[in-house]
A and B are shown apart, each in its own frame.
Chain A
Amino acid sequence: SHDHADKDEL
């Protein structure tokens, strides 16, 4: 799970 949802946030 390297695609973390918090990384697409500001």
Chain B
Amino acid sequence: MNIFRFAGDMMHLLSVVVLLLKIHKMKSCAGISLKTQELYALVFICRYLDIFTGFISLYNTIMKIVFLASAFSILWYMRSHKVVRQTYDKDQDTFRHYFLILACMVLALLVHHKFTFREVMWTFSIYLEAVAILPQLVMLQRTRNIDNLTGNYVFFLGTYRGLYMLNWVYRYLTEVHYHHRWLTWISGFIQTALYADFFYYYVKSWRNNEKLQLPA
């Protein structure tokens, strides 16, 4: 494992920790899209179908369990916790995420490397992850006062896939028998590019020491 991959994983982990911190300590999920969280839970379920059968490393297995467990605890907090669920801005979270699921499933059935259940579900998870942030980005744009934790959450999440792309380039250059797939590269690029606008305003607000606000 190279430094880019590890740093990417740590950013991903950090984003989840920041979100759970906000929810658990502040007892608030204001500004967080439940739809994006539902999509991530679905992404992890479909990607990690091999969690108990395809052992790669202890690190991988533990991280998979952490991502699955954190995704479901976030969903539980947002939907069932008596205090947290009342801070959820349902009216601002209007993205029709079922269309994303449907579109990604159709695409995975049409464009994949191998037509097996495991492989199509894995491909579906790659496509869905690329666009899962969209409901959250739409919600951010509608939120007038984005708190620091929410801004950092999205920033870490965007940085994670960006670092993964550097990891792919590094592996391509250094591994002799390298079999990475173009499907992952394109999806990963789209996923990272979706954050470009957000990154611009995030860095700008940070440099000017202002509160983060996205233009409507």
Chain A positions within 8 Å of B, measured between CB atoms, are 1, 3-10
CA distance A8 to B1 in the complex (A): 10
Q: Report A-chain residues with C-beta under 8 Å of the C-beta of B164.
A: 9
Q: Report B-chain residues with C-beta under 8 Å of the C-beta of A5.
A: 171, 175, 178-180
- Among residues of B, the one whose C-beta sits closest to the C-beta of A8 is B56
- Among residues of B, the one whose C-beta sits closest to the C-beta of A5 is B180
Whether B60 and A10, one on each chain, are in contact in the complex, defined by CB atoms closer than 8 angstroms, is yes
The winner among A1, A5, A8, A10 for most chain B CB atoms within 10 A is A10
Q: Report B-chain residues with C-beta under 8 Å of the C-beta of A1.
A: 179
CA distance A9 to B59 in the complex (A): 11
Instruction: Answer yes or no: B54 CB below 8 A from chain A CBs.
Output: yes
Main secondary structure of the interface of A (DSSP, over half): loop
Whether B181 and A10, one on each chain, are in contact in the complex, defined by CB atoms closer than 8 angstroms, is no
Interface size class of B (residues with CB under 8 A): 20 to 34
Q: Which of B1-42 contact A (CB under 8 A)?
A: 5, 9, 12
Chain B positions within 8 Å of A, measured between CB atoms, are 5, 9, 12, 54, 56-57, 60, 63-64, 67, 113, 122, 164, 167, 171, 175, 177-181, 184
- Among residues of A, the one whose C-beta sits closest to the C-beta of B56 is A8
Q: Report A-chain residues with C-beta under 8 Å of the C-beta of B184.
A: 6
CB distance from A9 to the nearest CB of B (A): 7
Q: Report A-chain residues with C-beta under 8 Å of the C-beta of B63.
A: 10
Q: Report A-chain residues with C-beta under 8 Å of the C-beta of B180.
A: 4-6
CB distance from B113 to the nearest CB of A (A): 8
Whether B179 and A4, one on each chain, are in contact in the complex, defined by CB atoms closer than 8 angstroms, is yes
CA distance A8 to B167 in the complex (A): 12
CA distance A1 to B113 in the complex (A): 11
- Among residues of B, the one whose C-beta sits closest to the C-beta of A3 is B179
CB distance from A6 to the nearest CB of B (A): 5
